[in-house]
Every structure is written in C-alpha cells, then in structure tokens.
C-alpha cells in the first residue's frame, strides 16, 4: 500500500468524523438531515475507495447502498415526515452546544487512545479505520442522547450505523451478506420508527418523547 | 456384559419413566398411588441387588458409562466406584423404605398428584448425582434433585408457612448450586476440562484449593445443613409429606455429604492441615447448635429436622478429622475417621428415616405434629411406639444400637489427636471432641423428650384419644429399619469391613479387618487400646433385663393395685398439668439459652387483690437468622427500594445510562495497565 492511498482513506474516514461533529451542533431538523445526507455521501466515498484499494468489487455494492438509501431515500423520506408533522421550525437541543462539542472531543480522544492501545500489531490502515469508526459510533450515540426529538434520535442512530459500516469495510474480507443485513435492519428500524412517529403524533400531537412520559403519569 | 454404571442408568431411566407414568395416573385414587410406590420399591430393590452383586464381586474397580447428552464436547459421564456404590446403597435403601412406607402412608395423601410424579423423579435425581462423573452432569443432577424435592416440599402449598419454607429452600438451593458451580470452575482451571478424571489428574495451587474448600463448604454444606447455612432445613424437611421428609433428612443430606467427600477427598488432591481445623470447627458448631435448636422445638417433625443438623455436624467432625490425619500422612487414623463418618451416614439414614416414619404415623393417626397436643400414644399405637423407641435409642447413641458404634469410632479417632504435629489441631481436636460429647448427651435428652412427651403420659387432646395403629406397610418399613439399627449395632464389623473398599482408594489405607476378631468384637486400632463388642452388650442387656423381669414377676406381689398418682399437691390433675416439651427443656434452656438463643424469661405476677392471671413469658431468638439473614434481607429491601426509580426514567435517560456505561467500560479498557 503506498502513501497516497492510505492518505486518501485516512482523509475520507477523518471527514466522516468531522461530519459527525457537524451533526452535533445542528439545532434545526432540516439542517440535521442535510448533514446526515452528507455523512452518508462521505461514507459512500470512503467505502468506494476501500473497494478500489482492496480490489474488492462487492464493496462497490455497499457504497451504492449507502449512497442510494442513506444519502437520498432516507433523507428525502425524513424531510417529508417533518413537513407532514409540521415540526420543521422546531429548535431543539437538550444539552448546550458547547458541552456537547467538548464531550464529542473527549469521545474521539477516548476511542483513539483505546484503539491504538488494543491493536498494536494490526494493519495500520485498519487501526486508523477502527479508531475513526469507534469515534463515529460514540458520536452517533451522543447525538441520540443529547436530542429530545424522535426524528433526530433516528438520525443519530443511523449515523451510528454508518460507523459500523466503516469499520466493516475497513477490515478485509468482511462478507457482503452481513453488510446488506445491517443496512436493511437500519431501513426497517427507520420504517418502524417512522410509523411510531405518526402513532405518537396522532395520540399526543407532538413527537417530543417527553409527551410519552406525561402519558405514563410522571414527568421529570 | 454391560457395565455396572450402565445398569444403574437403566434404573434411573426406569424411575424417570415411573415419574412420567405418575403424571398420567395420579388423578386416579388409591390404585395409582399403590402402582407408583410398588414400582419405585421394585426399582430400588433391583438397584440394590445390582449393587450387592457388585459389592460381593469387585467393589473397587470403577465401572464407567457415557451418554451423548449434556455439553456437546463433553457428553455425560457416569462412574460407579466404591464411594458411589456406598452412597447408592444409602440412597436406594432409603428410597425403597420410603416407597414401602408410602404404600400405606400415601393413601392418606390429600393431593397425590402433587407428590407421585416428583417422588420417583427425586429418587432418580439423587441416583444421578452420585453416579455423575463430570461437573456438568453433577450440577444438572444436583439441580434436578433440588427442584424435585422443592416440588415435594410445596406439595401442600396452601398450608401455613409451607410457601415460605419452599421459597427459602429455593433461594438457599440456588445459592448452594452457585457455590458448587464456582468450585467446579476453579477445579477445571483455565483449560476448562470438566470431567472428574481430568480434575483428579490436575493439581490445584494452595490458594485455589482453599477457595474450593470454602465453596464446597458453602455449596454442599448448605444442602447438608451446616450451621449457619441450615436455616432452610428445619422449614423445608417437615413441610414435605413424611416419607419425603425421611428421604430429604435421611438421604438427601447424605448426597450433599457425598458431594463434599467426592470433591475434597477425591478430586482436590492433598489437603492443607488447616482445612481440617475449619471443617472440625464447623462440624462441632453444627452438632451442638443443631441439637440445642431441636431441644427448644415442640413440633415433632421440626425436632427431627434439627436433629438431622446435629448428625450432619457429627459427620463433618469425622470428616474434618479424616482431613487432618490425611494432611499429616497418618493414613490408618484417617481411615478410622472416614470410616466413622461413612458409618454414621449409613446409621443416620436408618434411624432418621425410622423416626420420620414414626412421626408420619403419629401424624396420620392424630393429625398433630405439635407435641404439646400429643401424649399417651403408647397405649393406642404400641407397635409404632416400640419402633420409634428403637429409633430414639439408636440416635441417642446408646449401645447395643448402631448410633453408638459410629460415634464411638469418631471418639476413637479423636483420641488419635495427640499424634498430630500441629498445635492448632492438637488443641482443636479435643475441644471439638468435647462438643461432640456434649451434643451426644443433649441428643439423648432431646429424644427422651421426643419419646416421652409424644408417647408417654396422658393424651393432651381429643384427637389422640381416638388414635389407632397405622397400616401394615408403614409398620413393615419401620420394623425393617429398627431391625437394621440393631443389626448394624451388633455386627458393626461387617459394615466396617465393607467400608474398607471405600477408604482404600481415597486414603490408601483401611481399618484392620474386623470380622476376623472373635465374637464379633471390633478393634479399631489395637486390642491394647480399645475394643467394643455389641453382641456382648446386647446379650448382657437382654439377659439382665429378662432376669430382672423374671425376679419381679416371680417374687413380687401378684395383686394389681391402682392408686392415685402424686399430683404435687395440685388439686385438679388434668392432662395439661403434665410435663410439656417446653417445661422439659427448661433446664437446658436456662443453661445454654442465654448465649445460644438470647432467651429471656419474664414472670408477671398481679398485685395482691387483683384478679388478673399471672404470666410467664419466654422469649427465644434465632440468633443465626437475626445475625446473618435479616441484615441481608434488609439490604436487599433497601437496594430494591432505591433502585425502583430506575424503572421510571425517560427514554433519553435510559439511552444516557447505556451510553455512560459504555463509556465507563471503554475507559476501563483504555486505562487497564
């Protein structure tokens, strides 16, 4: 592997982490979804680059799945849901932007320290890749934790899944079957959660999950 | 020719088949009951025959069998060697006797469909535990045995306190199995080889061996009833139907002792000398506290259950001695101590089954377990009374019965202690010997009370007046056991020589051959030190008793006179004015109660002129329950109260908790040196 291919792979994976950071400070839903679409595009590029340098053609399929489903269909679908729900003007963060960004930096540090420590004799590309993937997973979790709106929690969850895909494609020989199943499980999760959103909306006139707590008779 | 172990597995399969049959047939009336108990009796007898042929032929060479069940890469291993042969005899003889008794007793069962399916399953479970030759099979059988016996404890689950007994039993049984699981995990080591064969071959580090001993004391000890893990036993054993109580007390505790011997003497290798001290201490404590509890008890079956705890203590004292001698390379003394322990295992299974059968007969005849409502049964149930008396004499370790022989052997082993090199043992062993003597004396007092209050005196309730003798099956079971108690007391040499096959592979030594001694004497070490002749004692008692009776009848007046009994100046002598079990035990409560039970007596006498009654209030605490178990219960209550909030968080908080926990785990991984 020469220096340039490594650098480009590194750049794309790092770019994915950067986009994850961008997600942290979006307080409008449309902006959040747009950033998520960008996230998926960068992922598709990264996977395609891996397919090229590993000479693994099945990874192109994965890249295409990422591009078509995650960068186009799902964002468009979420846009429509938001418009139908009429919540596109909502501003929502449960935790302030500053602390969230600091926490994100801490998480990235943690995953770097951890991954470089536990994989001293792995392939350097795979090492970097795994460290970035873990950062993306943790940042996705952070998005889920810091949001109150169900739509943005779905977005956080899907960006988490992007991290998993990155990790899977970075390691050589990961079979496509697993890929597809992971992608489809996410799709199904998206559909199910979408259905739930409408149900919640019908019942409570809001997709703020706090309404569920009111319904259960306790509010904290 | 299929091996002995394989034949026994067929026996187990037959028992399990009987259990299935019982599910189908138990809704019928008496015929189903008769069928099931006849089948279990037949199977137990057949298994005993197989074992007898093995003992006669070659008891030492192990016979193995393997089934393609259990964990895929291990399979289920079974092995029949001398130790398991001995315990299988105890299990199946107890099972056969309980079946015989059940033929009669089971007819009075109010809920046969709750008892019949589990009875054969319980027997099968106990057989499997003793046969198992790998940790997985052992634990599975152990749990099966626990659950089957739990179901039997819960047979009358609507009666007061039975549900609580079942619950505590279940908790303690799970705890014990957890301890056993960890012990076997340590024995298997990092390679994870769970066959006993591999564990026997591997040597454990001293620290690991110490942990295994502690875990076995917790695991097997909780099932056997070692203080302070005994609390479930006096609740659960009496709650089951009486023949099952007999099995649980007489046999299941022995299966637990088998587990202890199998692991500590067979699998673990050379013991450390201090392990003897630990086992001795626990055994002595168990013996004395068990019998003190029994003395305070007025429920006949609970008294018997507490007495089981005492006998388990006696057995553990002998096992501790055997460990101490084994650790100090004194094989002949170790063989003596282990023989004493095993002999007591056999004896206790005889007389405790007999006594529980007697208690069951009393329960059938009167519907009462409370001794304060019994009395005078010797006139109404003379045969049961006689058999029960034999059991009481045997368990009180009086010659010429069997209880005396095994306790005497234990004391002979205690007397070997000056030869031990460690001062800790030199001091400990005589002290525990003192505890053993104390518990033997208290046991005698306890069974004087049990027999006297229940069978002598005048009836204390109307139900007793109407009692009559029980059926012939129950009597046959009781008299068989009574005869064996006497027989094992008169020809102990036969048993001791039989046990040499067990001690030889475990300790590499055996007691001297006893049947070669003239006149059935037994000489454990050397004729110059001590010997005992049960036959001589029996003949002396028989001759002197007959002679005294003859003299009295020959020379005393033949006129029959009945006079008023001296009522201590009490004007109206009712049955309630007799000695009660509480009043009989009062002197002992005064001596030991203050420290063992924090007992307090309070007398309230009304001022002169007042018409209120005087009151004597006795307050007894179960110190072990209050010191060990109540704090645990309170801690759990506290924790559940405070963790309850976690049930009602928002979705985001749950996510946050998961997230934070993940971060903590990652941090641990990152910072681990």
> Directed axis angle between helix B331-366 and helix B382-395, to 10°?
150
Q: Say if residue B33's pLDDT is above 90.
A: no
Put simply, the answer to whether A210 touches B655 (Cβ < 8 Å) is no
Best A95, A117, A139, A141 residue to mutate vs chain B (most B CBs within 10 Å):
A141
How, if at all, do strands B615-619 and B600-604 pair?
Answer: antiparallel
- Which among B650, B662, B669 has CB closest to A220? B650
- The per-residue pLDDT for B283 is 95
B404: confidence class by pLDDT, cuts 50, 70, 90: very high
Put simply, the answer to whether A218 touches B648 (Cβ < 8 Å) is yes
Put simply, the answer to whether A114 touches B648 (Cβ < 8 Å) is no
Q: How far apart are CA B519 and CA A29, in angstroms?
A: 102
- The per-residue pLDDT for A117 is 83
- The pair phi, psi for residue B64, each rounded to 5°, is -120, 160
**Considering only CB atoms, which residues of chain A are within 8 Å of chain B?**
94, 107, 110-111, 113-114, 117-118, 138, 141-142, 144-145, 147-148, 153, 209-210, 212-213, 216, 218, 220
Rounded to the nearest angstrom, the minimum Cα separation between A188 and chain B is 20
B242: confidence class by pLDDT, cuts 50, 70, 90: very high
Q: How far apart are CA B456 and CA B385, in angstroms?
A: 9
Q: Say if residue A99's pLDDT is above 70.
A: yes
| Most confidently modeled range among A92-96, A215-219, B616-620 | B616-620
Rounded to the nearest angstrom, the minimum Cα separation between A113 and chain B is 7
Share of chain A above pLDDT 90, in %: 16
Determine how many CB atoms are found less than 10 A away from the CB of residue A148.
18
Model pTM score:
0.81
DSSP string, B364-403: HHHS--BGGG---HHHH-HHHHHHHHHHHHHHTT-TTSHH
Best A114, A143, A151, A218 residue to mutate vs chain B (most B CBs within 10 Å):
A114
Which residues in chain A are contacts of B666 at CB distance < 8 A? Answer: 110-111, 114
SS3 track for chain A: CCHHHHHHHHHHHHHHHHHHHHHHCCCEHHHHHHHHHHHHHHHHHHHHHHHHHHCCCHHHHHHHHHHHHHHHHHHHHHHHHHHHHCCCCCECCCCCHHHHHHHHHHHHHHHHHHHHHHCCCCCHHHHHHHHHHHHHHHHHHHHHHHCCEHHHHHHHHHHHHHHHHHHHHHCCCCCHHHHHHHHHHHHHHHHHHHHHHHHHHHHHCCCECHHHHHHCCCCC
* pLDDT tens digit sequence for B78-94: 999 999 999 999 999 99
* pLDDT tens digit sequence for A112-166: 888 888 877 777 777 878 889 899 999 998 988 888 777 788 888 888 888 888 8
Lowest-pLDDT choice from B405-409, B466-470, B480-484: B466-470
B569: confidence class by pLDDT, cuts 50, 70, 90: confident
Which residues in chain A are contacts of B650 at CB distance < 8 A? Answer: 209-210, 212-213, 220
- Which among B648, B656, B666 has CB closest to A110? B666
SS3 track for B592-617: HHHHHCCCEEEEECCCCCCCCCCEEE
Determine how many CB atoms are found less than 10 A away from the CB of residue B636.
10
Best A106, A108, A145 residue to mutate vs chain B (most B CBs within 10 Å):
A145
C-beta separation of B294 from B306 below 8 A: yes
**Which of B235, B238, B98, B80 is CA-nearest to residue B168?**
B235
- The per-residue pLDDT for B407 is 93
Put simply, the answer to whether B650 touches A144 (Cβ < 8 Å) is no
Dihedral angle at the C-alpha atoms of B650, B655, B657, B659, nearest 10 degrees?
Answer: -160
How, if at all, do strands B63-67 and B76-80 pair?
Answer: antiparallel
Share of chain B above pLDDT 70, in %: 99
Closest-CA residue of chain B to A141: B659
Put simply, the answer to whether B662 touches A113 (Cβ < 8 Å) is no
CA distance readout (Å), B286 to A182, B156, B306, B415, B435:
60, 29, 10, 21, 10
Report chain A's terminal Cα–Cα distance, integer Å: 55
Q: Output the six-digit token pair for A209.
A: 């999950």
**Look-up: residue for tokens 């029996």?**
B538
- Residue A155, strand partner residues: none
Q: Where are the domains of chain A?
A: 3-215
- Which among A114, A144, A220 has CB closest to B669? A114
- The per-residue pLDDT for A187 is 67
- The per-residue pLDDT for B361 is 94
Interface of B with A in 598-657 (CB under 8 A): 648-653, 655-656
- Residue B617, strand partner residues: B602
Which residues in chain A are contacts of B663 at CB distance < 8 A? Answer: 107, 110, 138
**Look-up: residue for tokens 């697993």?**
A178
* pLDDT tens digit sequence for B500-541: 989 988 888 888 888 888 877 888 887 777 888 888 999 999
Give chain B's radius of gyration (CA, Å). Answer: 26
- The per-residue pLDDT for A213 is 66
C-beta separation of A191 from A81 below 8 A: no
- Which among A117, A142, A209 has CB closest to B650? A209
Q: How far apart are CA B125 and CA B148, in angstroms?
A: 8
Q: Output the six-digit token pair for B657.
A: 């908790």
Q: How many CA atoms lie within 13 A of B140 on its CB side?
A: 16
Q: Where are the domains of chain B?
A: 270-549+579-584, 591-619, 624-671
* pLDDT tens digit sequence for B131-149: 999 999 999 999 999 999 9
- Which among A110, A153, A209 has CB closest to B670? A110
Share of chain A above pLDDT 70, in %: 74
* Number of residues written out for chain A: 220
- The per-residue pLDDT for B1 is 46
Q: Is B661 on the interface with A (CB under 8 A)?
A: no
- The per-residue pLDDT for A191 is 62
- Which among B648, B656, B667 has CB closest to A110? B667
Q: Say if residue B329's pLDDT is above 50.
A: yes
Rounded to the nearest angstrom, the minimum Cα separation between B189 and chain A is 26
Q: Say if residue A167's pLDDT is above 90.
A: no
Average pLDDT of chain B, as a whole number:
89
Rounded to the nearest angstrom, the minimum Cα separation between B663 and chain A is 8
Which residues in chain B are contacts of A145 at CB distance < 8 A? Answer: 652, 655-656, 659
Q: Say if residue A186's pLDDT is above 80.
A: no
Which residues in chain A are contacts of B664 at CB distance < 8 A? Answer: none
- The per-residue pLDDT for B120 is 94
Q: How far apart are CA B106 and CA B243, in angstroms?
A: 9
C-beta separation of B439 from B287 below 8 A: yes
Which residues in chain B are contacts of A111 at CB distance < 8 A? Answer: 666
Closest-CA residue of chain B to A147: B652
Q: How far apart are CA B12 and CA B19, in angstroms?
A: 11
- The per-residue pLDDT for A206 is 64
Which residues in chain A are contacts of B653 at CB distance < 8 A? Answer: 220
């Amino acid at each position: 592997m020469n220096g340039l291919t490594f650098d480009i792979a590194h750049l794309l994976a790092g770019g994915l982490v950067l986009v994850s950071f961008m997600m942290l400070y979006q307080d409008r839903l449309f902006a959040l979804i747009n950033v998520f679409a960008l996230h998926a595009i960068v992922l598709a590029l990264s996977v395609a680059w891996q397919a090229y340098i590993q000479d693994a053609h099945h990874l192109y399929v994965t890249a295409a799945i990422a591009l078509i489903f995650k960068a186009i269909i799902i964002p468009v679908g979420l846009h429509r849901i938001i418009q139908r729900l009429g919540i596109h003007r909502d501003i929502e963060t449960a935790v302030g932007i500053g602390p969230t960004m600091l926490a994100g930096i801490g998480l990235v540090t943690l995953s770097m320290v951890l991954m470089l420590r536990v994989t001293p004799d792995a392939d350097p590309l795979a090492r970097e890749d795994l460290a970035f993937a873990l950062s993306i997973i943790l940042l996705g979790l952070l998005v889920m934790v810091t949001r109150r709106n169900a739509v943005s929690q779905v977005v956080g969850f899907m960006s988490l899944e992007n991290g998993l895909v990155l990790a899977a494609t970075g390691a050589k020989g990961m079979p496509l079957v697993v890929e597809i199943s992971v992608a489809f499980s996410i799709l199904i999760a998206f559909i199910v959660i979408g259905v739930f959103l409408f149900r919640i909306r019908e019942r409570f006139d809001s997709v703020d999950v706090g309404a569920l707590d009111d319904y259960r008779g306790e509010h904290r | 020719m299929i091996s002995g172990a394989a034949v026994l597995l067929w026996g187990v399969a037959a028992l399990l088949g009987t259990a299935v049959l019982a599910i189908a047939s138990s809704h019928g009336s008496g015929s189903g009951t008769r069928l099931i108990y006849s089948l279990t009796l037949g199977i137990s007898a057949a298994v005993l025959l197989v074992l007898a042929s093995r003992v006669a032929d070659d008891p030492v060479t192990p016979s193995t069998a393997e089934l393609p069940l259990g964990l895929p890469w291990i399979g289920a291993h079974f092995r029949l060697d001398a130790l398991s042969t001995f315990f299988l005899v105890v299990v199946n003889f107890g099972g056969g006797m309980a079946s015989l008794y059940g033929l009669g007793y089971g007819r009075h069962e109010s809920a046969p469909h709750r008892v019949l399916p589990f009875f054969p399953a319980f027997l099968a479970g106990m057989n499997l535990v003793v046969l198992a030759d790998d940790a997985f099979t052992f634990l599975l059988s152990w749990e099966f045995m626990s659950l089957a016996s739990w179901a039997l404890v819960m047979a009358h689950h609507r009666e007061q306190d039975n549900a609580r007994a079942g619950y505590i039993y279940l908790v303690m049984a799970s705890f014990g199995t957890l301890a056993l699981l960890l012990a076997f995990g340590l024995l298997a080591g990092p390679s994870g080889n769970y066959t006993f064969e591999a564990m026997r071959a591997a040597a454990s580090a001293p620290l690991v061996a110490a942990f295994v001993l502690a875990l076995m004391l917790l695991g097997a000890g909780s099932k056997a009833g070692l203080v302070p893990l005994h609390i479930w036993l006096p609740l659960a054993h009496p709650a089951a139907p009486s023949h099952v109580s007999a099995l649980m007390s007489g046999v299941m505790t022995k299966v637990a002792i088998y587990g202890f011997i199998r692991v500590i003497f067979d699998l673990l290798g050379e013991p450390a000398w201090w392990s003897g001290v630990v086992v001795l201490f626990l055994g002595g404590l168990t013996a004395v506290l068990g019998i003190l509890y029994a003395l305070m008890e007025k429920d006949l079956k609970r008294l018997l259950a507490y007495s089981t705890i005492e006998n388990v203590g006696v057995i553990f004292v002998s096992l501790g001695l055997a460990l101490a001698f084994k650790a100090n390379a004194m094989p002949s003394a170790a063989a003596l101590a282990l023989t004493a322990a095993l002999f007591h295992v056999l004896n206790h299974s005889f007389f405790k089954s007999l006594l529980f059968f007697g208690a069951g007969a009393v329960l059938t005849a009167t519907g009462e377990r409370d001794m304060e409502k019994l009395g005078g049964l010797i006139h109404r149930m003379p045969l049961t009374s006689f058999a029960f008396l034999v059991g009481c004499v045997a368990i009180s370790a009086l010659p010429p019965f069997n209880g005396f022989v095994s306790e005497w052997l234990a004391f002979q082993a205690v007397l070997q202690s000056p030869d031990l090199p460690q001062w800790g043992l030199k001091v400990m062993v005589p002290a525990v010997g003192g505890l053993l003597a104390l518990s033997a004396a208290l046991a005698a007092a306890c069974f004087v009370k049990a027999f006297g209050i229940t069978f002598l005196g005048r009836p204390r309730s109307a139900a007793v007046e109407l009692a009559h003798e029980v059926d012939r099956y129950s009597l046959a079971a009781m008299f068989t056991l009574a005869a064996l108690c006497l027989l094992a007391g008169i020809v102990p040499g036969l048993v001791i020589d039989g046990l040499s096959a067990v001690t030889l592979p475990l300790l590499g030594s055996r007691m001297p051959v006893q049947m070669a001694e003239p006149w059935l004497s037994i000489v454990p070490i050397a004729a110059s030190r001590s010997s005992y002749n049960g036959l001589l004692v029996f003949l002396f008692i028989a001759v002197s008793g007959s002679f005294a009776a003859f003299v009295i009848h020959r020379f005393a007046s033949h006129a029959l006179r009945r006079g008023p009994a001296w009522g201590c100046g009490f004007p109206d002598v009712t049955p309630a004015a007799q000695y009660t079990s509480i009043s009989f035990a009062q002197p002992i409560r005064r001596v030991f109660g203050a420290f063992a039970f924090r007992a307090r007596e309070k007398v309230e006498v009304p001022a002169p002129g007042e018409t209120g009654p005087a009151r004597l209030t006795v307050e007894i605490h179960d110190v072990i329950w209050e010191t060990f178990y109540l704090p645990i219960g309170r801690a759990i209550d506290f924790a559940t109260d405070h963790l309850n909030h976690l049930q009602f968080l928002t979705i985001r908080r749950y996510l946050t908790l998961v997230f934070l926990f993940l971060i903590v785990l990652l941090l641990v991984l990152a910072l681990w040196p």
